[in-house]
Amino acid sequence: MKNRLLWPLLALAALLLLNLAVTPSFFALRIQDGHLYGGLVDVLKNGAPTLLIALGMTLVIATRGIDLSVGAVAAIAGAVTCVHIGTSDSTGTALAGMAIALVLCAVLGLWNGFLVAGMGIQPIIATLVLMTAGRGVAMLVTEGQIVTVNNTAYRQVGAGFVVLPVSILISLLVLGLVAFVTRKTALGMLIEAVGVNPEASRLAGVRSRTIIWTVYVFAAVCAGIAGLMISSNVSAADANNAGLWIEMDAILAVVIGGTSLAGGRYSLTGTLIGALIIQTLTTTVYTIGVAPEVTLVFKAVVVIAVCLVQAPKARAALSFRKVAVS
Amino acid sequence: MTALAPRVPTRFLPVLATVALFVLAFGVGSARYDGFASGQVIANLFIDNAFLIVLAAGMTFVILSGGIDLSVGSVVALSTMITASGLKAGWPVPLVIVVVLLTGSTLGLLMGLVIHKFDIQPFIVTLAGMFLARGLCFLISVESVSIKDKTFRAVATAAIELPGGVTITYNVVIALLVVAAAMYVLHRTRFGRSVYAVGGNESSALLMGLPTTRVKVGVYVISGLCSSLAGLLFSLYMLSGYGLHAVGMELDAIAAVVIGGTLLAGGVGYVLGGLAGVLVLGTIQTLISFQGTLSSWWTKIVIGVLLLVFIAVQRTMVRR
C-alpha cells in the first residue's frame, strides 16, 4: 500500500517544493482574527470541493463504475438552494434550501443507480445522460440567470471559518466518515468485491445492486455538498459554470491516487493525495506566473506521468528485473 | 416497423429507428411551422453541423473498437488555432492544412500508443489529451484570432447551387466525402473489418491473428485526423481560431454516435448511424429556434432524454 502511494506522494512533495522555491513564504501560516491563513490553507480550501467529489467518485470507481454527472449535480444543488433562499437572510431558509438541494441530489443519485444497477446500462453512458440534461435542468431552475443571494448562514458553508475554513472541515469530516464506515466495517470489502466481479459477488450473497445504488447516491450527495460550497463561496448560483469539468478533476484525482478504473480496489488516502496534487498544480501555475490557461498543459503532463509510472506494463519496461522474470 | 422486421436484418434496426426519429422530428416541425419543410432548412442542417458529422465519423471508429476519445473537441479548437495563427503569420493555405492534419493525427497516434503499449484506460489518456490540446491552444494565443486570408474566406463563403435554389457550402461536400470514405474503410477494407472484430472480442481477434495493435492505435489516428479535419471545417465556419471553441463538442459527438445506434461496448454500429444522430441533434436545435419561446437549455434536456431513450431501447434489443 505504502509503495503504491510513493509516486503520488513524491509528485506532491515536488510540487510543494517548487512552490517553496518560488515563494519562500509558501509554507508560512499566520493567525488573524482567529482564522488560519497561508498558502497551504489556500490549497486545501480551493481543493475542498474537488476532494469531496473525488471521495464519492472513489467508491463509484471501486465498483467498476464512473459518474460523469457530478458537475451537473453540483450545479443543480447550488441553483436549487440559491433560488429557495432568494432575498431572505434567515438561517432557517438557508438550512431548508440546503436540505431540499441535498435530498434532490440523493434522488438524482438514485436515478443514476437505477440506470446502472437496475437497467444494466454502462455507467459512463448512464451518467452521461444526467451530465447533459443536468446542466439544462440547473438552468431551468435559475431560468438562465446567475442567481445571487445575500445570506449570512449560507455564506458560512463555502467562505466561513472555524479556525480553518469550514469547507476544509466538511471535506475532512466526510473523508473520516467514509474511511471509518468502509474500512472498519465490511462495506469497503463488499464494494471491492462488487468491483472485481459483480456477478460472482451476487452469487456469494453480496447484494451487488444495493451496493451500486448506494455508491451512486453517496457520490451525488457529495457532489451536492460540493456544489453548495462552490455556490456559497461566491454567494451565487451559476448554472453554466459551477462545477464545470470538476468531474474530470475528480476522476483524475482518484486515478492519480492509485485507484484503478477497472474497479476492485481503492485508496481513500490516495484520493486525498490526488486531489491535493491537482489543486497544488493549479496553485503552482499561478504562483510561478504562467498564464492560468496553460495549467491544462501541466495537468496533462502530470496525469500522463503519474499514470505511466503506475501502469504495470510501463513499470515492467523500466525495471530489468521484472522483464527478466516475465 | 413490425411489418418491416422480418425483411430488415435486426442489426439495421437501431439506425432505422434513428432515421425514423429524424423524419418524425422533421415532420412535426413541418406541420407546426411555416417554412420549416424547405430544402434550405435541410441544407442548413448539414451546413451548421458539417464539422460534427466528421467528428462523429471518427468517433464511430474509436467506439466500434471498444474505446472512447474525449480529446476531439479540444483537437478541433487546437486546429482552429493553428489555422488562424498560421494564416495570420502568412503561411500558404496548403501548408496550413497539412500542418493541422499532421498535428491531429500525431496527437491521435501518441494517445493510441500510450493506450495500447502501456495498457492505460482510453478514458484517462484521451482526457489528458483533451487537457493538452486545449492548453496548447492557449500557449499559441489566449485571445481569439480572426482569419483574414482571402483564399480561405473565399472557400468559406462560396455557395454551391443545388437544383431547387438550395445552396450548400464546401464544408458539406467535404463532410459527406468523409462519411463515404469512412464507410468504405469500415466495410470494404481489412482494417475496417478488424475494427469490428477487435470491438466484438479483442482476445478472439488476437487469436484469429488479426493485427490488434494496428487496429487499436489506428482508430485513434483516424479519430485525430477526423478531429483536425473537423477543426478545419470549423475554422471555415467560424472564420476564427480560439481556445474556447468547441468546448464540450466531444460529448455532442459521443451523443450523436450513441443515438445513431452504435454500442459503446464496441463491435456494433454504422457510420451512417452517427450521421443520422447528428441530423437528429441538429433538427432538435432547429425546432427549438423555430419555436422561439423555448430557451436554449431545453436543447440539453431533450438531448439527455433522447440519449436515455436510445440506450434503453438498445439495452432491450441486446438482451433479446
pLDDT digits (tens, 9 = 90+) for A88-119: 889 999 999 999 999 999 999 999 999 999 88
> Partners of B241 in the beta sheet?
B145
Instruction: Convert the pLDDT of each residue in A183-199 to its tens digit.
Output: 999 999 999 999 998 88
- Give the domain ranges of chain B: 12-319
Instruction: Convert the pLDDT of each residue in B2-40 to its tens digit.
Output: 454 456 677 787 888 888 888 988 898 889 888 888 888
Q: What does the pLDDT read at residue A324?
A: 45
CATH code at B12-319: 1.10.3470
Give mean pLDDT, residues A118-146.
88
Task: Supply A268's cell numbers.
Answer: 481513500
Instruction: Convert the pLDDT of each residue in A292-314 to its tens digit.
Output: 777 788 888 877 887 787 777 76
3-state secondary structure of B166: strand
Q: What does the pLDDT read at residue A163?
A: 84
B127 touches chain A (CB under 8 A): yes
- Per-residue pLDDT for B217 more than 70? yes
Instruction: Convert the pLDDT of each residue in A240-283 to its tens digit.
Output: 888 888 988 899 899 888 888 888 889 999 999 999 999 998 88
Task: Supply B288's cell numbers.
Answer: 427549438
Spatial distance between the Cα atoms of B249 and B71, rounded to a whole number of angstroms: 9
- Of the partner residues B131, B139, B298, the one whose CB lies closest to the CB of residue A299: B131
Instruction: Convert the pLDDT of each residue in A208-219 to its tens digit.
Output: 899 999 999 999
* Closest residue on chain B to A303 (Cα): B128
Q: What does the pLDDT read at residue B237?
A: 93
Under an 8 A CB cutoff, do B307 and A132 touch?
yes
**Angstroms from B170 CA to nearest CA on chain A:** 31
In 3-state terms chain A splits into helix, strand, coil percentages (rounded to 5) of 75, 5, 20
Q: What does the pLDDT read at residue B319?
A: 58
Other CB atoms within 10 Å distance of the CB of residue B6: 6
Q: What does the pLDDT read at residue B6?
A: 55
Give me the percent of chain A exceeding a pLDDT of 70: 95
Lowest-pLDDT range, A92-96, A151-155, B71-75, B286-290? B286-290
Give mean pLDDT, residues A151-178.
91
In this prediction, residue B60 has a pLDDT band, given cuts at 50, 70 and 90, of very high
Task: Supply A206's cell numbers.
Answer: 453480496
Domains of chain A, first to last: 2-325 (1.10.3470)
Q: What does the pLDDT read at residue B1?
A: 44
Which residue matches cell numbers 469539468?
A245
Residue A278 · residue A263 · CB < 8 Å: no
DSSP string, A195-234: HH-HHHHHHTT--HHHHHHHHHHHHHHHHHHHHHHHHHHH
Label residue A177 left, alpha or beta by phi (over 0 means left) and psi (-120 to 50 means alpha): alpha
Spatial distance between the Cα atoms of B297 and A137, rounded to a whole number of angstroms: 8
B233 touches chain A (CB under 8 A): no
Distance of CA A35 to the CA centre of its chain: 25
- Per-residue pLDDT for B135 more than 60? yes
Under an 8 A CB cutoff, do A296 and B304 touch?
no
Please name the amino acid found at residue A215.
Answer: V
Which of A119, A121, A125 would best serve as a mutation to test chain B binding (most B beta carbons within 10 A)? A125
By C-alpha distance, which of B219, B216, B21 is closest to B105? Answer: B219
Q: What does the pLDDT read at residue B310?
A: 80
Under an 8 A CB cutoff, do B120 and A308 touch?
yes
Q: What is the mean pLDDT of chain A?
A: 88
Spatial distance between the Cα atoms of B45 and B286, rounded to a whole number of angstroms: 8
Spatial distance between the Cα atoms of A102 and B30, rounded to a whole number of angstroms: 42
Dihedral sign from CA coordinates of A70, A72, A75, A76: negative
- Per-residue pLDDT for A326 more than 50? no
By C-alpha distance, which of B85, B170, B67 is closest to B121? Answer: B67
**Angstroms from B129 CA to nearest CA on chain A:** 7
Q: Please report residues of A whose CB lies closer than 8 A to that of B136.
A: 297
For residue B93, what are the contacts with CB-CB under 8 A and spacing of at least 6? B87, B149, B151, B152
The more confident residue out of B247 and A325 is B247
DSSP string, A83-126: HHHTT---HHHHHHHHHHHHHHHHHHHHHHHIIIIIS---HHHH
Q: What does the pLDDT read at residue A78?
A: 95
Task: Supply A37's cell numbers.
Answer: 491563513
Under an 8 A CB cutoff, do A120 and B315 touch?
yes
Give the orientation angle of helix A268-287 with respect to helix A295-310, to 10 degrees: 150
* Closest residue on chain B to A309 (Cα): B118
Instruction: Convert the pLDDT of each residue in B92-114 to its tens digit.
Output: 999 999 999 999 999 999 999 99
3-state secondary structure of A31: strand
Under an 8 A CB cutoff, do B295 and A144 touch?
yes
Pairing of strands A147-148, A29-32: unpaired
Task: Supply A79's cell numbers.
Answer: 441553483
